[in-house]
Amino acid sequence: MNIVVCMKQILDPEVPARDFRIDAARREAERGSASLVTNIFCENALETALQSGGNITALTYGPESAEDTLRKALAMKANAAAHVAGEGGHPLHVAQVLAAAIRKLGPFDLILTGRESGDWGAGQTGALLAEELGLPCVSFADKIEVMNDGGWQMADGKASDSSAIRHPPSAIRVRRQTDAGFETVEAQPPLVVTITNAEHNVPRIPKVRDVMMAHKQPLTRFTVDELGVAPADYYEIVELAIPQKETRCELLDVDGLAQRIAEITAAL
Amino acid sequence: MTNVLILFAEDRAAQGLAGAAEQLGGETRAILVDGDYQIEETLDALVDACRGADVILLANDTYSQEIAPRLAHRLGGACVGDGVGVARVDGRVRVTRQVYGGKAHAVVEVRRSPAVLWLRARSFSGGAAAASAAELSRDPGARSGRRSTRIVERNVSAQTHARLEDAQVIISGGRGIGGPEGFRDELEPLAKMLGAQMAASRAACDAGWVPPTWQVGQTGKKVAPELYVAVAITGASQHMAGISEARNIVAINIDPDAPIFKHARYGIVDDYRKVVPLLRERLTNLGNHEGKR
């Protein structure tokens, strides 16, 4: 089974609000002293892929620094990595770039993305990628099982070490989170799945040795021009601002708080 | 100008979407997607049902979120999600939404038609809901060309009484609760007293202490209660992004420097294990007192 995991490098979302600055004219966040990290849902996606087994390619679209995201993916034991050099763009552009790269790198049975990114949080990459590739899409998944030789194979975290799943699976079963609980979805590959976080897909910590090895592995490199992706209209960010909040917290004792809570709930 | 509202059977969402449609102007009709939701089939049917619309509005449930970008793509339009404000400026649709985990807000201008928007429906004051929503008609055999998926099992979490998004009072716990026992023994009895819904931060859900359906925040539910009691929650911006529409935030936290106090209206700096039992006791007394009057 061949899996591609689309991954994005972003400004560390943990940067405290007091250190967060924006460039209002360029309508983007200032890098400042914040570090760059891999979007957490992309790491959840890679972890889910590693647990499902198969041959995994990590793919990113981003500036030179995004190579770090691929090196970390390789250290987590992705088998190959590809970098499309370029920057920015609306969700449709990103999906078109990724789709073009996937056509060159594929074929793949499973295409994974994170459910959304921790910077702009548009949450559209996986869905638009599915449309660009003409594939079905299952969103907000946290577990993937593959049907092989007549039986369902549970993702158990061990499969990545073995090459147990070599052949295209005949069916894929996805567990996904919904507002009320979860759903089980069955599908035939190929398909796109967007991944959310759960207790069982917390990204593994790579071994030091694997981190060092990852720096020696070759990357497949593309540019947006090579892929032949032309800019298209979609949407524009016309304003970006940090909201000013004027909340003053009134510190109370338990009696005072009980009184306030009783007042608020009595008015409902 | 034609607006189409797509509803996955939720009354409150319908009013919010109708309110948003009134702000955009034009004629509005509504489509109700009822019954057996199947991703690809429902999408196909909605593409047919929405042709000709300028604006398509959806709520912020998971079905709406997954359908909206794909519907936009099929209709040649553009999608913007998680909107808390809409406007029409010089004929173009603009959407206000939070970005960078709630640390900033952006105004996004749609440059294609139709504009397919999914909104935090509760952030909009209710409009006169379209008189009646037409049920989505489906023709399952119509498109055999495309591969499909099948939802074969639906599990509804036993703890879910009503939608968290619709709750008036929410008791929420974070990493500082320390384990499932704190939720069960301290917070749930408090929630019961107040007729509140339970929620949690991502840290508590990721730790497996409570179900993922409880998660509130940038990547969880976006709630808008009258009262949100944040217990042992630090208040990282990703969590705050889910409660920006809460009317009154109460913080109980042992750390006086926790960012949650910058957003809370009322607070107590102390260990929740001490505060919550006392609070339940006082609320019981107040309740009895009120009862006698």
Domains contained in chain B, CATH given: 2-135 (3.40.50.620), 164-292 (3.40.50.1220)
The total domain count for chain A is 1
Is the pLDDT reported for residue A70 higher than 80? yes
For residues A45-60, one letter each, b for 16 or more C-beta atoms within 10 angstroms of the residue's C-beta and e for the rest, the string is bbbbbbbbbbbbbbbb
Residue numbers in A near B81 (CB within 8 A): 122-124
Q: Count other Cβ atoms within 10 Å, centred on residue B137.
A: 9
Give the best residue of B43, B60, B97, B149 to mutate against chain A (max A CB count within 10 A): B149
Which residue has tokens 């001490």? B274
Contact assessment for residue A97 and residue A229, using Cβ atoms and an 8 Å cutoff: yes
The per-residue pLDDT for range A227-265, each reduced to its tens digit, is 999 989 999 999 999 987 767 899 999 999 999 999 999
The per-residue pLDDT for range B69-93, each reduced to its tens digit, is 999 999 999 999 999 999 999 999 9
**Structure tokens, A2:** 């061949």
pLDDT range class, residue A222, cuts 50, 70, 90: very high
**Structure tokens, B284:** 């019981």
Give the best residue of B10, B37, B71, B73 to mutate against chain A (max A CB count within 10 A): B73
Q: By CA distance, what is B253's nearest residue in A? A: A251
Residue numbers in A near B268 (CB within 8 A): 251-254, 257
Could you say which residues from 170 to 209 on chain B have a Cβ atom under 8 Å away from some Cβ of chain A? Answer: 194-195, 202, 205-208
pLDDT reported for residue A79: 97
Contact assessment for residue B251 and residue B194, using Cβ atoms and an 8 Å cutoff: no
Contact assessment for residue B244 and residue A245, using Cβ atoms and an 8 Å cutoff: no
B278 touches chain A (CB under 8 A): yes
- Residue of B82, B155, B169 with shortest CB distance to A182: B155
Contact assessment for residue B169 and residue B227, using Cβ atoms and an 8 Å cutoff: yes
pLDDT reported for residue B166: 81
Q: Do A185 and B149 count as a contact with CB atoms less than 8 A apart?
A: yes
**Given phi > 0 = left and psi -120 to 50 = alpha, else beta, which region is B257?**
alpha
pLDDT range class, residue A158, cuts 50, 70, 90: very low
- Residue of B79, B98, B104 with shortest CB distance to A124: B79
pLDDT range class, residue B290, cuts 50, 70, 90: low
Is the pLDDT reported for residue B162 higher than 80? no
Residue numbers in B near A179 (CB within 8 A): 61-62, 163, 165, 213, 221
- Among residues B48, B46, B6, B67, the alpha carbon closest in space to that of A137 is found at B67
Which residue has tokens 């992309």? A42
Average pLDDT of the segment spanning A158-185: 75
Average pLDDT of the segment spanning B160-164: 67
Is the pLDDT reported for residue B64 higher than 90? yes
pLDDT reported for residue B289: 60
Q: Do B268 and A251 count as a contact with CB atoms less than 8 A apart?
A: yes
Strand blocks (E) in B43-168 = 55-58, 78-89, 92-99, 104-110, 115-119, 134-135, 149-156
Is the pLDDT reported for residue A166 higher than 80? no
pLDDT reported for residue A168: 75
The per-residue pLDDT for range A108-124, each reduced to its tens digit, is 999 999 999 999 999 99
Which residue has better confidence, B34 or A178?
A178
The per-residue pLDDT for range A8-58, each reduced to its tens digit, is 999 998 888 788 899 888 898 988 888 999 999 999 999 999 998 889 999
- Among residues A168, A167, A7, A153, the alpha carbon closest in space to that of A80 is found at A7
Distance CA B93, CA B255 (A): 43
Is the pLDDT reported for residue A127 higher than 90? yes
Backbone angles phi, psi at B53, to 5 degrees: -80, 150
Which residue has better confidence, B258 or A148?
B258
Contact assessment for residue B227 and residue A264, using Cβ atoms and an 8 Å cutoff: yes
Backbone angles phi, psi at B15, to 5 degrees: -65, -45
- Residue of A29, A136, A245 with shortest CB distance to B148: A136
**Given phi > 0 = left and psi -120 to 50 = alpha, else beta, which region is B76?**
left
The per-residue pLDDT for range B178-198, each reduced to its tens digit, is 999 999 999 999 999 999 999
Can you give the CATH number for the domain in which A10 is found?
A: 3.40.50.620
Range of the domain at A32: 2-266
Is the pLDDT reported for residue B293 higher than 50? no
pLDDT reported for residue B12: 74
pLDDT reported for residue A71: 98
CA-CA distances (angstroms) from residue A206 to A47, A200, B89, B206, B223?
A: 11, 17, 50, 20, 36
For chain B, what is the largest distance between any 2 Cα atoms, rounded to a whole number of angstroms? Answer: 70
A254 touches chain B (CB under 8 A): yes
Which residue has better confidence, B7 or B278?
B278
pLDDT reported for residue B130: 58
With a threshold of 0.95, tell me whether the complex ipTM lies above it.
no
DSSP assigned state of A167: S
The per-residue pLDDT of chain B, averaged, comes to 88
B29 touches chain A (CB under 8 A): no
Residue numbers in B near A238 (CB within 8 A): 94, 107-109
Distance CA A48, CA A5 (A): 10
Give A130→chain B minimum CA distance, Å.
Answer: 8
Please state whether beta strands B115-119 and A151-153 pair in parallel, antiparallel, or not at all (unpaired): unpaired
Which residue has better confidence, B25 or B289?
B25
Q: Do A131 and B70 count as a contact with CB atoms less than 8 A apart?
A: yes
- Residue of B78, B221, B227 with shortest CB distance to A261: B227
Distance CA B231, CA B51 (A): 47
Is the pLDDT reported for residue B10 higher than 70? no
